């Protein structure tokens, strides 16, 4: 996954909001994880991806948005042959370190 910070505390002084862009290459998976100290919004700019949160998998296509509550387990998989580009907003933190990141402790089917 390729991640670029657009707005955060270090670059712009934003204390409670992060905006980043990301690209998930075809066939790649961002493992099941959560952010204990921030909410998250993901907006698909281009392509398509399959997301899994604490419900059923959801297909997100260009123009679709997903809201992930603070501390909710989630993952993203690009099961297509095209890169998926997204904008991601974190609310409640000024840096990714402040948002927190925890991978799920149990083995999980990443297919």
Cβ neighbours for 2, distance < 8 A, ≥ 6 positions apart:
22, 23, 25
Question: Taking a C-beta distance cutoff of 8 angstroms, is the pair 74, 32 a contact?
Answer: yes
Evaluate if residue 49 carries a pLDDT over 80. Answer: yes
76, 16 Cβ separation under 8 angstroms: no
> Which pLDDT value is given to residue 75?
93
Is it the case that residue 105 has pLDDT exceeding 90? no
Distances, alpha carbon 23 to alpha carbons 73, 78, 104, in Å: 20, 10, 22
On the question of pLDDT at 73 being above 90, the answer is: yes
- Whether 99 has a pLDDT exceeding 90, the answer reads yes
Q: What is the pLDDT of residue 13?
A: 94
Write the pLDDT tens digit of every residue in 4-29.
889 999 999 999 999 999 999 999 99
Which domains does the chain show, CATH number per domain?
A: 2-96 (2.60.120.10)
Please indicate whether residue 55 or residue 84 has the higher confidence score (pLDDT). Answer: 84
Separation between Cα atoms, residue 14 and residue 80, nearest integer Å:
34
In DSSP notation, 28-51 reads -EEEEEE-TT-EEEEEEEESEEEE
């Amino acid at each position: 996954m390729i991640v670029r910070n657009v707005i955060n505390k270090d670059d712009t002084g934003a204390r409670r909001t992060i905006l980043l862009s990301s690209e998930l290459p075809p066939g790649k998976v961002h493992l099941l994880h959560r952010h204990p100290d921030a909410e998250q919004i993901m907006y698909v700019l281009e392509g398509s991806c399959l997301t899994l949160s604490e419900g059923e998998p959801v297909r997100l296509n260009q123009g679709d948005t997903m809201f992930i509550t603070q501390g909710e387990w989630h993952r993203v998989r690009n099961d297509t042959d095209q890169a998926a580009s997204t904008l991601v907003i974190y609310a409640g933190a000024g840096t990714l370190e402040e948002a927190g990141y925890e991978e799920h402790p149990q083995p999980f089917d990443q297919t």
